Amino acid sequence: MGILKDCIKNKEIKGTPIWFMRQAGRYLPEFRKIRSNNSNFINLCLNPDLSKEITIQPLKRFNLDAAIVFSDILFIPYGLGQNVEFEKNFGPRLGELDIKSILEITEKDILNKLNPIYKLISMTSKEKILKDKDLIGFVGATWTIFLYMFNKKSPRKTLNEDIYNYPNTDELINKIIDVQKLHIKKQVESGATIIQIFDSWAGLLDEKKKDKYIYEPTKKIVEFTRKLGAEVICFPRCIKYYKEYCDIVGPSAINIDYEVDPIKIAENINIPIQGGMNPNCLLLEKNDMLKNAKKYLTIFKNRKYIFNLGHGVMPETNPENVKILVDFVKDF
Ligand code: CP3
């Protein structure tokens, strides 16, 4: 456990904790090297030796305060028996949504599929490089997982509204919640100290439906995780109601996207804040990048703030810029 968890728990800390979403990934040549020999992304994630190595790769280069488990939110549909593949230049492609077999699948079947992830976490948490640092486990939020299972691919910019008429919505949502809880519990038992909940498509939901699809399920997951003794960071991407979300869902910390005005967030939200800066800033010339970083650090200087981005690191990012940014935040 490290300064990231201390910051979330409102303890006194020195400096600003920092980590990045997608800090392990294609912008790192050492990741691309492993990836080029492992064309099946699912199998790569389920290989604990390789996924452990990938998880710690960014910590070998940069002075980060946490590692995030190298895995994917789509292991929940995968664990439920829906086929999941990752296609080059397309992204995820999911198979038929066979509701009958999904509702029948047992915990034992699910764990049989997901056990390599817990082995990866347990092995990674014992690495020396993580001493005094946090290991972040994660799940996709119920709405985002439901959306992928229904839509079978990323929705891009618009939502297929048929999703609201899916006949087995309540049963499927409850089943997803069961697996989310199981997956979180196993991650925490294996050594994850913090759980992040990614609601990447929260912004696509018709706001009038947020109680059913976002608040009710996410509140359950957050309460469950906090009872386990882990802290929970929520990232409901591109919503316009962050304050109400925090009040109702009750996460330990909130990650903000890059569309929302950080000044308004600082004024209205009292819990620790994470992220915000546009990942494109890492593609800018050094001084412009740092000017943007300084903006976030200044706005949140009297607050518990975890430096991160408003979405994941872009594949085009130069690792040298990541190093400059991390050192700048650490010296600020
Ligand atoms: O470093 C980390 O952040 C840890 C690993 C991680 C991955 N995916 C690895 C990954 C995490 C936390 C995720 C979460 C995830 N996965 C989200 C939520 C965050 C977000 O981006 O909004 C979502 C929506 C997914 C689903 C997903 N996985 C998509 C849409 C894609 C394809 C697009 C892309 O970015 O490549 C993936 C594949 C994926 N997941 C890759 C990685 C490193 C790329 C795999 C490759 O090498 O081709």
User: Is there an atom of ligand 1 within 6 Å of 26 CB?
Assistant: yes
| Protein residue with its CA nearest to atom 22 in ligand 1 | 200
| Protein residue with its CA nearest to atom 5 in ligand 1 | 70
Tens-digit pLDDT profile for residues 16-74: 999 999 999 999 999 999 999 999 999 999 999 999 999 999 999 999 999 999 999 99
Residue 1's pLDDT band (cuts 50, 70, 90): confident
Q: Would you say residue 156 has pLDDT above 90?
A: no
The reported pTM is 0.98
Among 38, 55, 72, 135, the mutation site with the greatest number of ligand 1 atoms within 8 A of its Cβ is 72
User: Is there an atom of ligand 1 within 6 Å of 154 CB?
Assistant: yes
User: Is there an atom of ligand 1 within 6 Å of 312 CB?
Assistant: yes
| Protein residue with its CA nearest to atom 2 in ligand 1 | 22
End-to-end alpha carbon distance in the chain: 23
Q: Phi/psi at 211 (nearest 5 deg)?
A: -60, -50
User: Is there an atom of ligand 1 within 6 Å of 198 CB?
Assistant: yes
User: Is there an atom of ligand 1 within 6 Å of 41 CB?
Assistant: yes
Express as a percent the part of the chain with pLDDT over 90. 98
User: Is there an atom of ligand 1 within 6 Å of 197 CB?
Assistant: no
Which ranges in the chain belong to alpha helices (H)? 3-8, 29-36, 41-45, 48-61, 75-79, 99-104, 107-125, 142-151, 169-190, 210, 216-227, 242-249, 262-268, 286-299, 319-331
Tens-digit pLDDT profile for residues 96-147: 999 999 999 999 999 999 999 999 999 999 999 999 999 999 999 999 999 9
Tens-digit pLDDT profile for residues 204-231: 999 999 999 999 999 999 999 999 999 9
User: What is the mean pLDDT of the segment spanning 264-274?
Assistant: 98
Residue 223: per-residue pLDDT: 98
